[in-house]
Structure 1
Amino acid sequence: MARHPEYQYLDLMEHLLEHGDRRIDRTGVGTLSGLGAMMRFDLSKGQIPIFTTKRVYWKLAVKEMLWFLTGDTNIRNLLQENVRIWTDWPLAKYRKATGEDIDQVAFEKRILEDEAFALQWGDLGPVYGKQWRQWRDAEGRVHDQLASVIKDLKTNPSSRRMIFHAWNVGELADMALHPCHMVYQFHVSNISAEGGKRPRLSLMVFQRSCDLFLGNPFNVCQQAALLAMVAQQVDMDVGELVWSGGDVHLYLNHLDAIREQLSREPKPFPTLRLLRRPASIDDYRIEDFEVTGYEPHAAIAAEVAV
């Protein structure tokens, strides 16, 4: 019997617990860090890699991906969807700039109720969505990288240039957080369609920095959702999600929680079905995603390092 694919994730965390380089990081919390990792997930039978050894709130992860696809960079629309994973950065900036010791709940309430306040304090700078959908070049031309990839998938599926990325050197300083999942590259197999096979779309993601315990389960889930959406838009079957990491790390304040997770056995991955085919990649909603058979172990709480 094949080993459960989630063990790729668990083995990587266990390796870092034993061999990770102990270091002080940007946040001051400290990490166990290593360079270079890869995981592969076969999505061809409808499974989606939502990890099971702790509950992953997959709807939040997919909502974040849908937010990226809009090109938006303000947390207000995220908060309207009850997604709070980006609040820490603008909140820290507001506290530093004003000296006001406002708590997160009050800050989010002001963002939601006061549009002018949200415009001033809720924007994250030119982060993922801006770069994916509205990359501005030196001549002022705007490039929709994702739309270009979808066009190439339809017209030139053997291309080795079906890439979008967010590492815009000239705008890094203006971003609340430098892009972590940086490069997305698509690959089509069965292009000749011999034997009546449909083309199969796979996706490889390079992530330069990854909080394995908190961030990676979200990242893998939402990247699988993106692959499903793009495959549907270009009339291809879903193939493989390949995740690759640069600096992969565990935060020192998460180690007990990680050991708890490592003591658990993975359960079967759930299945994903898209309930409708929207007119374009811009038109998906969270209600379009049906996940069945997700029966994970209990959630494990941990603080994000800012």
Structure 2
Amino acid sequence: MVAKATSLDSHGERHSEWQYLDLMREIWETGSERVDRTGVGTRSVFGTMLRFDLADGRMPLLTTKRVYWKTATREMLWFLTGDTNIRELCRQNVQIWTDWPLDTYRRETGEDISREDFAARIVEDSAFAARWGELGPVYGKQWVDWPTYEADGNGGFRKGEGINQVAEVIESLRHNPGSRRHIIEGWNVAELNQMALPPCHKTYQFHVADGRLNCALYQRSCDVALGLPFNLWSGALLQRMIAQQTDLEPGEFVWMGGDTHLYLNHDELISEQLQRQPEGSPRLEITRRPESIFDYRIEDFVVTDYTPQGALKAPIAV
């Protein structure tokens, strides 16, 4: 039996998480069945939107299953370093990106190594990590070091100084808050074929109104069961950090999806989650304001009123 959308949040309003559950139900019941890149198959809808008010510390942290928000936070902090090797993530036991280089390693060497052993070798062996842990110019590289080129004087071009989009957006928000150009873009067409996975959450746009910072995130491709819970947290987290750095109050986080899908082999997870009802109203406190957005640490983030229901697992499609 599917749960009815009756639970309320601490303000006595319809719980914001019902948006996510309603979207999941719509895709599973009415989505177009498609053959996808992974060969697993999906049910998909196109052009979706979820909206969350981040006032009073509220965050889009799902309660109908456990979302490992610290793992997602560590990934976001890693993005902001511009690193493109999984070694630092593996060192923190964050395996979000491990499956892609692992798949390449198995395919090219024929060695049937476990993910645990592969991650351990990445951490222990710097040469192995350099050879097999690279993801190419994924998210963080584009965010903080977008490549530029300049004439070399001999009719050719040489690499110029990279553009730190995150730093530029923060400066723009501070000095020109009414601009319509507060954008962080990950979709670098010239470098897509060098990436382990082209960016899914590709475009962030920020907007200031009445002293509040709003954020719209466009995601070209979204795995609703496994990916979206992390994407919602991470996007809102980035918004919260930028709001703190620009002396603005957190406003509305707007998530927009292009190809929004559920994998056919996630049926057990979906069936179980749609029987659950949201509970509680998770809050995020940022306990310290560092000198810049690039100086946050995992210890700076504290979540309260989060008592999620049990974890739900399903295979990731690589």
User: Normalised by the size of structure 2, how large is the TM-score?
Assistant: 0.92
- 2-structure distance, mates of 1:222, 1:176: 20
Q: What is the CA distance between 1:301 and its match in structure 2? A: 1.1
- 2-structure distance, mates of 1:156, 1:300: 44
Q: What is the CA distance between 1:82 and its match in structure 2? A: 1.2
Q: What is the CA distance between 1:80 and its match in structure 2? A: 1.1
Structure 1, residues 221-265: CA drift from partner, whole Å, max 9, x if none?
Answer: 111111111111111111111000000000001012111101000
Amino acid at match of 1:56: V
- 1-structure distance, mates of 2:244, 2:32: 42
Structure 2 match to 1:242: 254
- Is 2:304 the partner of 1:292? yes
Structure 2 match to 1:171: 191
Structure 2 match to 1:271: 283
Contact preservation (8 Å) 1:150, 1:234: yes
Q: What is the CA distance between 1:81 and its match in structure 2? A: 1.3
- 2-structure distance, mates of 1:154, 1:184: 17
Q: What is the CA distance between 1:167 and its match in structure 2? A: 0.4
Q: What is the CA distance between 1:138 and its match in structure 2? A: 3.4
Structure 2 match to 1:157: 177
Structure 1 match to 2:217: 205
Q: Which blocks of at least 5 consecutive residues in structure 2 are unaligned?
A: 1-11, 151-158
Q: What is the CA distance between 1:165 and its match in structure 2? A: 0.8
Secondary structure of 2:27's aligned partner:
helix
Secondary structure of 2:57's aligned partner:
coil
Match of 1:108 among 119, 125, 145: 119
Match of 1:28 among 3, 27, 39: 39
Q: Note the 1:176-187 alignment, pairs <5 A.
A: 176-187=196-207
- Is 2:63 the partner of 1:52? yes
- 1-structure distance, mates of 2:173, 2:290: 17
Amino acid at match of 1:216: L
- Is 2:292 the partner of 1:303? no
Contact preservation (8 Å) 2:66, 2:308: yes
Q: Among the aligned pairs, what percent are the same residue?
A: 59
Secondary structure of 2:197's aligned partner:
coil
Match of 1:5 among 16, 33, 46: 16
Q: What is the CA distance between 1:137 and its match in structure 2? A: 2.1
Contact preservation (8 Å) 1:33, 1:247: yes
Structure 1 match to 2:8: none
Amino acid at match of 1:210: C
- 2-structure distance, mates of 1:94, 1:295: 38
Q: What is the CA distance between 1:276 and its match in structure 2? A: 0.6
Structure 1, residues 77-115: CA drift from partner, whole Å, max 9, x if none?
Answer: 001111001000000001111111111111111100000
Q: What is the CA distance between 1:271 and its match in structure 2? A: 0.6
Match of 2:292 among 275, 280, 294: 280
- Is 2:95 the partner of 1:75? no
- Count of residues in correspondence between the two structures: 298
Moved over 4 A (4+): none
Structure 2 match to 1:127: 138
Structure 1, residues 193-232: CA drift from partner, whole Å, max 9, x if none?
Answer: xxxxxx1101110000000000000010111111111111
Amino acid at match of 1:26: R
Match of 1:148 among 146, 168, 172: 168
Amino acid at match of 1:203: C
More off after superposition, 92-101 vs 211-220: 92-101
Contact preservation (8 Å) 2:90, 2:120: no
Secondary structure of 2:80's aligned partner:
helix
Amino acid at match of 1:176: A
Contact preservation (8 Å) 1:51, 1:269: no
More off after superposition, 165-174 vs 134-143: 134-143
Q: What is the CA distance between 1:48 and its match in structure 2? A: 1.0
Structure 1 match to 2:25: 14
Secondary structure of 1:45's aligned partner:
helix
Secondary structure of 1:242's aligned partner:
strand
Q: What is the CA distance between 1:2 and its match in structure 2? A: 2.5
Structure 1, residues 39-90: CA drift from partner, whole Å, max 9, x if none?
Answer: 0000012111100010101100111111101101100000111100100000
Q: What is the CA distance between 1:9 and its match in structure 2? A: 0.5
